[in-house]
Amino acid sequence: MRHARRAIIAAVLVFFIIGTQVAGAFQGDPLSLFTTADRAFEAGDYKTAAAFYEQGIFALSATAPEEYITLGYAYSQLGRCHALMGNMNMTLIFSYQALDMGYAAMATNREDALRIVISSHGAILDTYDNAGLFEPMREHNEIFIAFLEEYRKNPLPDEVIPQADIKNYLAYCYAQNEVNLDEALTLIDEALVDYPDSAAMLDTKGWVLYKLGRLDEAREYLEHALKQCEKDDGDCYLIKRHLDEVTALAL
């Protein structure tokens, strides 16, 4: 995976810097550091949370580098911290690191590994999409699509990873890469049966309809998605961008 290899190299450099700058700044075992990080994250103090996740990862990597699930979780959370602080490059670095940890754990803990892999792919997709980096996004989508299509042959129970989420991801990736659009529409319709008020899924439905050239229907769904997103107090940037694009073409 070309992007993942680049991210690994970048992350090694980052952690070398972190290790030299903050070694000894925090005391405690890795799990205690991660617990402190989790508390800071829940409190909305993402800068402090990131610092503790970094130190915990540094400590655990030095003592138990085979703890792929714990490291994958920590990298994922660290990526989320940077996403919420608007640091796109760091979000990608740590999301790719989380992805690698998830794949490494697949043989020994498939359930938790899949959670990390799927969420990390989603985080990478969202980061590229939010930044308007469409070419690397499409390249990553090809990898994500192949993974999702294979996963659907042997999925986890719905209560572990809802099939609606998988269908939504796959439909959106198909739409972004402009492939299998009829299948994408079927997938997102099935997902919406389970979650009719999901802003993300309504957005996907609108975007698939847009790619099919059904602009009036697309705008209707995107308007619904935006209203639902605002009602949920969510991050509505992508939905607004989609709606603006469709509205401009529909006029």
CA distances from 95 to 41, 69, 80, 155 (A): 17, 14, 8, 23
Same domain, 127 and 174: no
Per the domain annotation, does 17 fall within a domain?
A: yes
Q: Does 105 share its domain with 177?
A: no
Domain membership flag for residue 52: yes
Q: Is the pLDDT of residue 230 over 70?
A: yes
Note whether residue 143 is domain-resident. no
Return the percentage of the chain with pLDDT > 70, whole number.
Answer: 89
In this structure, the answer to whether residues 184 and 91 fall within a common structural domain is: no
Nearest to 123 by CA among 101, 152, 93: 93
Domain for residue 41, yes or no?
yes
CATH number for 184 = 1.25.40.10
Whether residue 194 sits in one domain with residue 114: no
Neighbouring C-beta atoms of residue 62, cutoff 10 Å? 10
Asked if residue 1 and residue 110 are part of one domain, the reply reads yes
Summarised one tens digit per residue, pLDDT across range 130-175 is 999 999 999 999 999 999 999 999 999 999 999 999 999 999 999 9
The structural domain count of the chain equals: 2
**90-96: average pLDDT:** 97
pLDDT band at 28 (very low <50, low <70, confident <90, very high): low
Is the domain of 107 the same as that of 6? yes
Give me the domain span that covers residue 193.
162-251
Residue 4 has pLDDT above 60, yes or no: no
114 and 230 share one domain: no
124 shares a domain with 87? yes
User: Do 129 and 244 belong to one domain?
Assistant: no
Do both 9 and 127 map to the same domain?
yes
Do 10 and 128 sit in the same domain of this protein? yes
Assess if residue 150 is contained within a domain. Answer: no
What's the CA gap between 188 and 109, in Å, rounded?
29
Same domain, 14 and 110: yes
